[in-house]
Amino acid sequence: MPKKLPSVDAVMVGVGWTGGILAAELTRAGVSVVGLERGPSREANVDFAFPHIRDELKYGIRFGLMQDVSRDTLTFRNSADQMALPMRQLGSFLLGNGTGGAGTHWNGQTWRWTPYDFEIYSQTVKRYGQAAIDDGMLIQDWGLTYQELEPFYDKFERTAGIGGKAGNLQGKLQPGGNPFEGPRQSEYPNPPMKRSQLGDLFQNASQNLGYHPFPGPSANMTQAYTNPDGQSLGACMYCGFCERFGCDYNAKASPNNTVLPTALATGKFEVRNNANVVRVNMDSSGKRAVSVTYIDLISGEEIEQPAEMIFLTSFTFGNVKLLMVSGIGDIYDPVTNKGIVGRNYTYQLSAGAGGTITGKDFKVFAGAGAESVVIDDFNGDHFDHTGLGFLHGGSISASSAGARPIQSNPGGSAWGSAWKNAAAAAYNTSVGIGAQVASLPFRENHLDLDPTYRDVYGNPLLRMTFDYRGNESKRTQYLAEINVKILTKMGAKNVVGRGVPDHYSIVPYQSTHTQGGAIMGLDPSSSVVNPYMQHHQISNLFVVGASSFPHNSGFNPTGTVGAVTYRLADAIVKRYVKSPGPLM
């Protein structure tokens, strides 16, 4: 029998951005919160200190801040006629591990999604008709609008100190910003990042082609900043060690230096590290979650933590798997198109172009994770899709994230002096621009439980079935051609464009933007949670984060994750605590 602990008001399963935001907001309202984190403790001023955090081999190549896939992983296949096999080493995406989760090692790109994204089904049918939606495509409205989410985008941007330039202030277009964005109530709390020489070329070329460049919004601080909660961050030094690393300058907003210190200062928040949750426990009616069971990874002890409110706040795969192994909801079956848990799994597609520019010193060693110049002309429904054969699009950018010596060495020969010469010649002349491209849900793409493989705790592994389907290739090829046009205008030679390949591979790194599996909506027959990420049938269970997104946009998801989490926290504090029950 597991050891049973005294009940608390709320438990968070995962202590990253979503768990941290909820902990900060709930504890300030007097709610007692326990955060269960399967990974180790990570304190920003200790674990991310110079010089050891700059160890590219440990963190950039050997994934020192990531999940140990020898203990818990997932299996993958492209289609149902293949046998899924375990992912034995991290590749396509990088799953965070430890306090702060993936929020410790992200680049800091922080976007608001387009108003179209939240009403994608109704707006598509209104403009193009039902026939524009591919057979097997499962797009649906989210049940909330951009306008409802806007105040919470603003709150997240102020908590994280986002730097940028508004393009639409209260309905009035602003020079230098994104003219396609939804209306904002206020300017960004910090100015945009410095623009690199590559960004200058992209800015001029895209403007000359009639597009609308603007600085990408960034959680890399552009100046010293103290957020509304009193947490102070330093200014970015453009060192190039953002993605896969913690920040030794304390200049990249993360849960570790924003929401978690705020929650801990209340005295109402306890973080338990090395606590791997294996099950959500229900009462005899099956309509109320009563506790979670976790394994203490140090002692091996099985422990039950009761709580009045249970929040699944881990990464997409963790949230979905925990629902499945706990028997909460019917697992989606793509053959019958029945079941809801595991439905609408999406990823982040990409397109781009590469070439060479000589005679310039780009100083590629310097940069920041979110330093970029972007155009949004071909994202969402900002352009007419009539006759193109696809929906949605993506954002196109020139980024200067910093070319670290191991990961960014483009030498073409395998060894010796030939490799050294090729690497030296290519390091400062090889250039590329790219598009983050929307991923829309298809009937065949889903998550379920693997019938063969199990994790170290005895639970089935999560199984991913995913491939490029329907109009994905057309969308990425269209954007690749725009990339080629811009890069050529920038003065590049030997320009080559790329869309997605014939089939998705889980091996090379592409993006850590995974969505779906426990999606939100108004209809319980096609969604797991309502637009507050509250389970439709179990009102004290909340499944929080990108697992609730019915599709993926042409932007990074973190800003939207933060906004929907702040919206939930507001509803919990103002309504649910006073009168527990459905929020809709």
Q: Nearest CA to 542 among 572, 512, 516?
A: 572
Cα separation, 291 vs 295, whole angstroms = 14
Four-point Cα dihedral 547, 113, 25, 519, nearest 10: -20
Q: At 378, which amino acid appears?
A: F
Distances, alpha carbon 397 to alpha carbons 98, 202, 213, 349, 375, in Å: 31, 8, 9, 14, 6
Among 382, 446, 513, 551, the one annotated catalytic: 513
Beta bridge partners of 472: none
Q: By the 8 A CB rule, do 289 and 538 touch?
A: yes
Beta bridge partners of 252: 220
Question: In angstroms, how far is CA 96 from the centroid of its own chain?
Answer: 11
Q: By the 8 A CB rule, do 518 and 547 touch?
A: yes
Give the helix/strand (H/E) hosting 259: helix 259-265
Q: Nearest CA to 255 among 50, 60, 96, 72?
A: 96
Cα separation, 100 vs 238, whole angstroms = 22
Cα separation, 541 vs 477, whole angstroms = 41
Cα separation, 193 vs 538, whole angstroms = 44
**Cα four-point dihedral sign 86, 90, 94, 98:** positive
Q: At what angle do helices 558-571 and 146-160 cross, to 10 degrees?
A: 100
Q: How many CA atoms lie within 13 A of 178 on its CB side?
A: 27
Q: At 83, which amino acid appears?
A: M
3 state SS for 427-449? HCCEEEEEEEECECCECCCEEEE
Number of neighbouring beta carbons within 10 Å of residue 460:
17
Cα separation, 117 vs 534, whole angstroms = 20
DSSP state for residue 194 in the 8-state scheme: P
Q: How many CA atoms lie within 13 A of 226 on its CB side?
A: 2
Q: What is the CA radius of gyration of the chain?
A: 23
**Cα four-point dihedral sign 522, 140, 541, 32:** negative
Cα separation, 553 vs 349, whole angstroms = 9
Q: By the 8 A CB rule, do 376 and 180 touch?
A: yes
DSSP state for residue 467 in the 8-state scheme: -
In the residue annotation, 513 being an active-site residue is answered as yes
Catalytic residue annotation = 513
